[in-house]
Amino acid sequence: MTILSGITILLIYQLAGEISVLLLGIPVPGPVLGMIMLFLTLLVRNRSSESLDATATALLSHLSLLFVPAGVGIIVHFDRIIEEWIPLTAALVVSTVVTMMATAAIMRGSTHLSSRGDDKNA
Amino acid sequence: MPEPDLTTIWVYLAATPLLGLTITLVAYGAGYRLYTFARFSPVLNPVVSAVAFLIGFLLLTGIPYDAYFEGGQFVHFLLGPATVALAVPLHQQFAKLKKLWLPITITLISGVMIGAMTSVGTARLFGASLETQLSIAPKSVTTPVAMGISEQIGGLPSLTVVMVVVTGIFGAVIGTRLFDLMRITDDSVKGIAMGITAHGVGTARAFQVSSEMGAFSGLAMALSAFATAIILPWLLKALGMIA
């Protein structure tokens, strides 16, 4: 029963997110808005429930599985991928390495700066 | 009693979602076992081995992707609730997040712009078609969001999905190495970089390192999905790539 009520809560928030996106024309996917709504609910209540925690942990611990069917979709694009493999590979490798290192450096630098600011205020 | 004919059974199986769903779980289970056997070496990421196994299976049997996806969609569907579920670790780590809101905001906005510009720029430099450039632009955000953005800006959503998954796998594989190289030890820094660059696949990897890194990665992934949906169409318009 635990998992059942947990998944029900998640689906209700996803549905609420999808409907709000359609009604308000916000350029954000429904599940993302649903996540923000659930997050705000948890903040206001200031606690989660056992069933929600258990379901979230179960879903998130096998998050990689959920990408498999979409990944197999590479099979549909074989032609384009073979034709454009150089720009595709270059873009993926360059962009992923640069973004990973840049965000890590920026996060480290700005955390350092803001904690130094806190020290001064203290 | 008529003899059960193998061809009849095969025709029946190929027409129901059961086969696609079962084979997805079996492939992932095998991939995961291989992964634990290799002591969690990131090169043997279970998504890579499961996808490779399934592609081999589809090519051998001649089952078209659409027929496979009839079953695969049940797993794919869970991406939605899983995205919503990210609110839970986010809430658990809220005290830490609140302290770091300014660095996170700065990193997020610059990260989204750097990710989009380096991917589109490199693809263009190497002569990719405009459609491909647009399909690759949202590669660092989680699948359902990336598909929506891709459609909106005129890319090919199904190509985007592939780019997103490959980026996630590549990011998850090299991320921890790059962090070691940069001598980063702080799990919050690693998590934020991982989530912005490699979305859910990176987050899955981050949860294996520590729940703190996982929560930060999940947060970064959720926020960057939100930020990219807003920033990317505007950025591409400013660059004159879309009307």
Structural domain contains residue B1? no
Q: Give the pLDDT score at B4.
A: 66
**Same-domain pairing of B158 and B51:** no
Q: Give the pLDDT score at B38.
A: 84
Q: Give the pLDDT score at B94.
A: 84
From the number of C-beta atoms within 10 Å of its C-beta (0-12, 13-18, 19+), residue B181 rates as: exposed
Q: Give the pLDDT score at A102.
A: 96
Q: Give chain A's mean pLDDT.
A: 87
Show which of B51, B77, B103 is a domain's final residue. B77
Tell me: pLDDT of A24 over 70.
yes
Give the closest of A32, A38, A75 to B55, CB-based. Answer: A75
Contact A96 B194 (CB under 8 A): no
Show which of B18, B46, B77 is a domain's final residue. B77
Contact B189 A104 (CB under 8 A): yes
Structural domain contains residue B53? yes
Q: Give the pLDDT score at A21.
A: 87
Which residues does chain B have with pLDDT short of 50?
Answer: none
Structural domain contains residue B160? yes
Query: CA–CA distance from B144 to each of A17, A54, B199 (Å)?
Result: 13, 23, 11
Return the higher-pLDDT residue of A61 and B127.
Answer: B127
Q: How many residues does chain A have?
A: 122
What one-character-per-residue DSSP string does B60-81 give?
HHT--HHHHHHHHHHHHHTHHH
**Same-domain pairing of B163 and B54:** no
pLDDT tens digit sequence for A91-117: 999 999 999 999 999 999 998 887 766
Using 50, 70 and 90 to split pLDDT, how confident is the model at A122?
A: very low
**Same-domain pairing of B112 and B206:** yes
Structural domain contains residue B204? yes
Show which of B45, B77, B109 is a domain's final residue. B77
Contact A70 B218 (CB under 8 A): no
Query: Could you tell me the two tokens for A73?
Result: 């979709």
Give the closest residue to B54 by CA, choosing from B38, B81, B79, B75: B75
Q: Give the pLDDT score at B196.
A: 95
Structural domain contains residue B176? yes
Q: Give the pLDDT score at B93.
A: 79
Selected residues 41-100 of chain A with any CB under 8 Å from a CB in chain B: 42-43, 48, 52-53, 55-57, 59-61, 63-77, 80-81, 84, 86-88, 90-100
Structural domain range at position B110: 83-238
Return the higher-pLDDT residue of A26 and B46.
Answer: B46
Q: Give the pLDDT score at A1.
A: 62
Shortest alpha-carbon distance between residue B199 and chain A (Å): 11
